[in-house]
Amino acid sequence: MDKQSNSTADGAALSGFARLDAEPFPIFEPGWVWLVGAGPGAPGLMSLLCYHALQSSDVVVYDALVNPGILKWVRPGTELEYAGKRGGKPSAQQRDISVRLIELAQAGKRVLRLKGGDPFMFGRGGEECQHLVKAKIPFRIVPGITAGIGGLAYAGLPATHRDTNHSVIFLTGHDASGKMPANVNWQAVATATPVIVMYMAVKNLDEIAEALIAGGRAKDDAVTIISNATLPQQAVAHTRLGEVREFLSHTELATPAIVVLGPIADWRAVFDWYQGALRENPVG
Ligand code: SAH
């Protein structure tokens, strides 16, 4: 390691985040877009490259799911632009976001496109890349911890465990129009793996549960719903697949929420570590 990177010009030792700033991270060049995953919520779960990007960008274009606690790590003077989608016309807005990224990059800015979780996991990162490629804008992808893995861990659910499941399916509970996705083979999904992790599934959960049961999934299969995962207000609810409709009729679920189907729910009784004083720490 370069010795100088651990000390200031006058030789004083650096430590903590000051030391990070002296590390040889990739240079964020003007005119580039970095598509960065901020992780599921808790600021402590962002990557070092995410931190570096926050420290060296000119403008941050961020989504609704990015915790404000993460935005406070930007350099003073960095512009912050909200690009969250609110119901309605997602595709039109998505195009607007890509156009805006291109515009900012062409103006010579270092553009940080910050997304919740991982940018390529149900995050429309691929669509934004397509636009950037077309416009010949250079870009970098920085993966993030996705809610469907990190969120589970904060509720004491291992996404895989040799005693319960050797495979996982990740799926989205709604398509571009907000409906249950028609191009998912629900019958195949129902019996393919012991564990199914569902993003954006709360709205259509009753329909999804019916489709899975019709596809052969057991009615008594465990459903775990993790709201605001990794945040101090994280809440975890439990039901059974065959009881979803009834459960939803008397429960107001906070969103964002990840829905987990399958026996990894049982590990929660043993592994639920995110309790009491631990969860009062806003960084994670
Ligand atoms: N790219 C993101 C997912 C975006 S889709 C990722 O990799 O995590 C948005 C969905 O992600 C939400 O509807 C919800 O299902 C899930 N999600 C994101 N953050 C979450 C959180 N903190 N707690 C629970 N679910 C979350």
Digit-coded pLDDT (tens) for 209-228: 999 999 999 999 999 999 99
Residue ranges lining ligand 1, Cβ < 6 Å: 40-41, 65, 115-118, 121-123, 146-147, 151, 199-200, 226, 228-230, 256-258
Residue spans of the domains in the chain: they are 21-144, 148-280
pLDDT band (50, 70, 90) for residue 245: very high
Domain 21-144, classified CATH 3.40.1010.10, yes or no = yes
Q: What is the pLDDT of residue 4?
A: 47
pLDDT band (50, 70, 90) for residue 180: very high
Report, as an integer, the average pLDDT of 230-258. 96
Which 8-state DSSP code applies to residue 232? T
What does pLDDT average to over the chain? Answer: 93
Q: What is the pLDDT of residue 11?
A: 63
Write out the DSSP string of 52-109: HHHHH-SEEEE-TTS-HHHHTTSPTT-EEEE----SS-HHHHHHHHHHHHHHHHHTT-
> Do 33 and 58 touch, CB atoms closer than 8 A?
no
Annotated catalytic, 85?
A: yes
Annotated catalytic, 200?
A: yes
What span, in angstroms and rounded, lies between the C-alpha atoms of 42 and 67? 7
Residue 84 has which token pair? 């969250």
Distance 116 CA to ligand 1 centre (A): 7
What is the tens place of the pLDDT at every residue in 66-106? Answer: 999 999 999 999 999 999 755 555 545 788 999 999 999 99
Q: What is the pLDDT of residue 20?
A: 86
CA-to-CA dists, residue 184 to 176, 188, 218, angstroms: 13, 9, 19
* Neighbouring C-alpha atoms within 13 Å toward the C-beta of 5: 9
Helix and strand numbers (H, E) in the chain are: 10, 10
Report, as an integer, the average pLDDT of 157-183. 95
For residue 3, is pLDDT > 50?
Answer: no
Report, as an integer, the average pLDDT of 10-19. 79
Q: What is the pLDDT of residue 9?
A: 62
Count the Cβ atoms, other than its own, within 10 Å of residue 161: 16
Cβ within 8 Å of residue 218, ≥6 positions away: 241
Cis peptide before 256 (omega within 30 of 0): yes
What span, in angstroms and rounded, lies between the C-alpha atoms of 31 and 110? 6
Domain 148-280, classified CATH 3.30.950.10, yes or no = yes
For residue 6, is pLDDT > 80?
Answer: no
